[in-house]
Amino acid sequence: MDNLISRGSTLTFSPKTVLLIVLLLTILALSGAGCEDAPVARLQNAKDALEHAASSGALRYAEQTYRNAEELLQTGWMELARQNGHLAPFRSYEKADSLLMLATSLAMQAETKTLDSIATMQAMAGGELQEMKGELAEWLEALNGSLAGFNVRDYWMRADLDIQIAEGLINKGEYDDGRVSMAKARNFLTHLGKNLEAHADDEAKKIGIWRRWVQQTLDQSRTSNGYAVIVDKAAHRTYLIKGGRLIHTYGCELGYNSSRQKLFSGDAATPEGMYEVTSARQRGSKFYKALLINYPNAADRKRFAENKAKGIISKRARIGDWIEIHGEGGKSKDWTQGCVALTNKDMDHLMQYVSVGTQVTIVRKSDQWP
């Protein structure tokens, strides 16, 4: 044997054999040192963290952080695959391990950021919703019994609908959309407020006229010691006057669009002015008993012509007529086409004192007696 040299009982190797043995032992040592475990668990942790973040809503509330974590996961995964392609002695998973750890950390940050954002938005949207509900209730209270209610109630109803939609969206976690819906509701309430403000301004400009009408009616009744009727639309009260003094008060209902002066036939507004009874029907009325007044009078006709000339009303509009104080009231709402409605019992009482020629003054608002 060339590579083995026997000298007595001792076995010796040739230098070439010894070199081969040393080389093999070195390779075996290196193989053992390079066989570190691949970070498979780290990869799975990163995947799970990203999945949890996505399910929490990170793509919506923490997208950039989520995307960074996703990119690190892909890079770490590719590095892991690249190392697996090397011979065992030459593999190093240190870089892949670091990338996957960082991906997990960022994914967890994205989830935390998402949950914090959701909690903040939930608190903000919930608080705003309760505030809007309270505001809506206050507006409803202000509108109840108000002559302006008919003209602006549509704004209130639209705001109410948008608030209901907002509440449904918030309950589903759609906080942004819920706040958009509340913004629409607030816009409708703003329009409502502006209309009520305009209504109040109009009343402030005309209150002097109504005071004068009331005073003239009282003075004439006092002078003649006769009866007169004053209707206060805002108060929904009809007053019976004798000798300039109040002797009886009746509740009344009006045209359902009585927040302003009557402009034309069919507008459902109760007229405002100084009139007199032209017919008193004890029977045969569609509404129990009725007192017909002389609407339109000269002032009504003049105003109607001026409004047509200014384009405020249509050229084809008619002025209308047949305004009464009649029975069948007591519905607790304004419902007539422009007439003043009392209960049948109150009509029985009123007609004991009122007849053809009795003055009837209708004002939108009276801030003086009666």
What does the alpha-carbon distance between residue 188 and residue 153 come to, in Å, rounded to a whole number?
10
Residue 336: helix, strand or coil by DSSP? Answer: strand
> Which amino acid appears at position 45 of this protein?
N
- DSSP secondary structure string for all residues of 276-300: EEEEEEEEEETTEEEEEE--S-HHH
Question: How far is residue 213 CA from its own chain's centroid?
Answer: 42
Pairing of β 245-251 and β 273-285: unpaired
Lowest-pLDDT choice from 35-39, 199-203, 226-230: 35-39
Lowest-pLDDT choice from 13-27, 181-195, 315-329: 13-27
In degrees to the nearest 10, what's the CA dihedral of 314, 319, 322, 323?
90
Long-range contacts of 233-236 (CB under 8 A, 24+ apart): 233/147, 233/258, 233/270, 233/272, 233/362, 233/363, 233/364, 233/365, 234/146, 234/147, 234/364, 234/365, 234/366, 235/365, 235/366, 236/145, 236/334
Query: How much is the pLDDT for 12?
Result: 63
Question: How far is residue 350 CA from its own chain's centroid?
Answer: 46
* Beta bridge mates, 326: 290, 341
Give the Å distances, CA to CA, from 80 to 86, 87, 251.
10, 13, 88
What does the alpha-carbon distance between residue 78 and residue 66 come to, in Å, rounded to a whole number?
18
Mean pLDDT of the chain: 89
Contact between 324 and 253 (Cβ < 8 Å) = no
Quick check: 126 pLDDT over 70? yes
Q: What is the mean predicted confidence (pLDDT) over 74-94?
A: 92
Give the Å distances, CA to CA, from 304 to 260, 321, 361.
14, 13, 19
Burial of 27 (0-12, 13-18, 19+ CB in 10 A): exposed
Q: Give the pTM.
A: 0.69
Question: How far is residue 349 CA from its own chain's centroid?
Answer: 47
Quick check: 6 pLDDT over 50? no
Q: Which two tokens stand for residue 72?
A: 């690190």
- What are the pLDDT digits (tens) for 10-37? 556 676 665 666 555 555 444 444 445 7
What does the alpha-carbon distance between residue 79 and residue 155 come to, in Å, rounded to a whole number?
62
Return the ∠ at Cα 273 (arms to 270 and 279), rounded to 5°: 75
